Structures are given as structure tokens and as C-alpha cells.
Amino acid sequence: MAGKILLIGENPQSFLLKALTKSLEDASYEVQFSFPDKHYLETMINNDDFPEIVILYLERLEDAQNSFFPRMEKIVEKNKGIRLYFIGSLNEINQAYESIDKKHVKNAFERPIDITTFLKALESGSGDYSLSDEVKKLKLDDEKLTILVIDDEVVQLHAMERWLQKSYNVITEKSGTDGIALLKQCKVDMILLDYEMPILSGYEVFCILKNDPETADIPVVFLTGNNESETVRQVVGLNPAGYLLKNTAPAILVQKIDAIFDKLLKDK
């Protein structure tokens, strides 16, 4: 067991919060969720088994800032062994700092986080890692369009990179959360998105992208290994820029991506 985490948030059913919990559990952390309840916190702090790590997931926690946050600050100030982390938008983080002094916060991470970077921070126990500090180093050709491929199958990612890199800049990510985080750092012209993925499915990632004004206009092409009629119907029903079967011959697959780009450029 890597350790115990108290994860405090307002919406445990949100896609990103569920993905974060799953990633932490996969990394052998024991995660306990709580709503921002100061009375519950009082009960917990008197327990010898209080988690060393506390994560405030700041989305929709505005109402907690005048009551819960000051008590959280006092507990962290009194118990020096507690490591407190913020996860939120830049605006949410700045607002939280108005209620909890920065000196009591180990680190703050912009949402959606790069889970690999975040796990490094938890493991090291330091404040040296943050999304803004560890930007993915990308060598992009300004003359080429850029494609982000999101797929949990590493073999598939490597294959797509080999097939496409002659004509396009290709960026690969192994999960929806990492793909979403990368889009905060880098502009892409198309996303090839695996429809069947664990934690965050392709459908869930698609919904997150389309509900964010910063990513809503990026064309998404689904990748699927399942050509059954029901799966195809579900994929097409989302109205993506296209969909491709993973078992398509490489040369044909590249031609289809070229054709999708051509159509998109003509429709502009």
C-alpha cells in the first residue's frame, strides 16, 4: 500500500474525479472520499489513522471556502505531517489561496491533471512537480498538421505513430486524462480517439472535449476494434468527424485520415 489519501470534493460522480480516484487506487493508494464537511473533518482528525495526504478537488467548492477551508488550514497548520494538495482550474486555485495560505499547501495542479506527473509528486513528497513546470517536450514541424492519438494499447499507439509520422506531427497518450491534460499545453488539428478505453471511455472523453470551449472545435475521429452494427451506430450517433476500424490496412487508414482532413479544410 502506497499510503492513504483523503480526497475531498463536491461531485464524486464527475468523469475526471472518478478517473483520478481509479488512477490513485491503481497506484496502490487507499482513497477515502469526503464531501467538504468540517464536522466530519473534526471526527477524522481525532483518529490516529488520519491520512497523510489530503487532496482538495476544487471544482464546485466555492461554498466551502468560508467555512470548511479555514478549518482545513488550521488542521494542516497544527499537524505538520499532513500534505495538502489542490487540484482545480487556475481561477479555483487562486480563490482557494484566499482562504488557505500557500505555505500550508504542498502543491497545486491545474485541472485536468497529468496523472503521471501528479503521482510523481505524491511519491516524492515534494512540491517540485506541477503541470505547468513539466510541459511535455514536443518537436513539431510547423509545416505539418498535428494529430493527437489517445489509446490505452501501447502497440496501437506505436503503430499509429509509425504510419502517420511521414505526413503529420503525431503525439500519443495512453489515457483520456493524459490526453485532455496535454491539450492544455499544445494545439492539435485532429484527435484520433479509442472508443473502448478503461477509466475514461472514448465516449466520456468526447463529451468532456465537446463541453469545453477550448477543445470543442477540435475534430475527433474515433478508433474502434469492434465493427458490430450496434457499436458503429453508437459511434456515428455522436457525430464525430469520422471513425476508423483498427484493423484497417495502414495505407488505407492513412488515406482515410487524409480524406477527412481534406473534407474539413473544404468545409471551413
Q: Dihedral of CA 52/136/110/217: which sign?
A: negative
The reported pLDDT for the residue numbered 37 is 84
Question: Max CA-CA distance within the chain?
Answer: 65
**Distance separating alpha carbons of residues 70 and 33, to the nearest angstrom:** 19
Kind and range of the H or E run holding 25: helix 15-26
Percent of residues in the chain assigned helix, strand, coil, to nearest 5: 40, 20, 40
Does residue 71 have a pLDDT over 60?
A: yes
Q: For residue 113, report the phi and psi dihedrals to the nearest 5 degrees.
A: -85, 160
Name the average pLDDT for the chain. Answer: 84
Does residue 90 have a pLDDT over 80?
A: no
The reported pLDDT for the residue numbered 12 is 83
**Distance separating alpha carbons of residues 260 and 139, to the nearest angstrom:** 24
The reported pLDDT for the residue numbered 130 is 40
- pLDDT class for 48, splitting at 50, 70, 90? low
pTM score over 0.75: no
**What is the rounded average pLDDT of the residues 206-216?**
88
CB 61 within 8 Å of CB 36: yes
Instruction: Tell whether omega for the bond before 112 is within 30 degrees of 0, i.e. cis.
Output: yes
Does residue 93 have a pLDDT over 70?
A: yes
Q: Which residue bears the cell 488515406?
A: 255
For 143-165, write each residue's pLDDT tens digit.
Answer: 999 999 999 888 888 889 989 99
